[in-house]
Homo-oligomer: A and B are copies of this chain.
């Protein structure tokens, strides 16, 4: 009984720690939405800016840098004229897809619910 409680305890602690770790990587108002947009394929800076409604260039730039640092996003500069920059999810970035998808489907559920009350 006591052992079971200890197991519960540590499983619970690990759970909380894991959630906190995830939140640290996805912190802020924009990262999840940026990833959600990139989940549909590679995008250029201005495409992303149009896609993630409401974001300012400064923020988009900053958030993309953080995502790159965490290894979730790849940045590629193409030598066009003028230059083009493409962003895409890394393989690791794609591993976030289950979270994104769950959020998307909950959001739809929520919208239905709010509408019907």
> Which of A's residues lie within 8 Å of B, judged by CB?
12, 14-23, 25, 27, 29, 32-33, 36-37, 40, 51-53, 92, 95-96, 98-100, 102-111, 113
Copies per complex? 2
- Given known A-B contacts A15-B36, A15-B104, A98-B102, A110 and B21 have beta carbons under 8 A apart: yes
- Given known A-B contacts A102-B102, A103-B99, A110 and B19 have beta carbons under 8 A apart: no
Q: Are A23 and B33 in contact (CB under 8 A)?
A: yes
Given contacts A18-B103, A21-B110, A22-B103, 12 further A-B contacts (CB under 8 A): A15-B36, A16-B52, A18-B104, A18-B108, A20-B107, A21-B107, A21-B111, A22-B104, A98-B102, A98-B106, A99-B106, A102-B102
In the complex, A106 Cα to B83 Cα: how many Å? 35
Task: Find the B residue at minimum CB distance from A114.
Answer: B21
A13 to chain B, nearest CB (A): 9
Cross-interface CB contact of A23 among B21, B25, B29, B92, cutoff 8 Å: B29
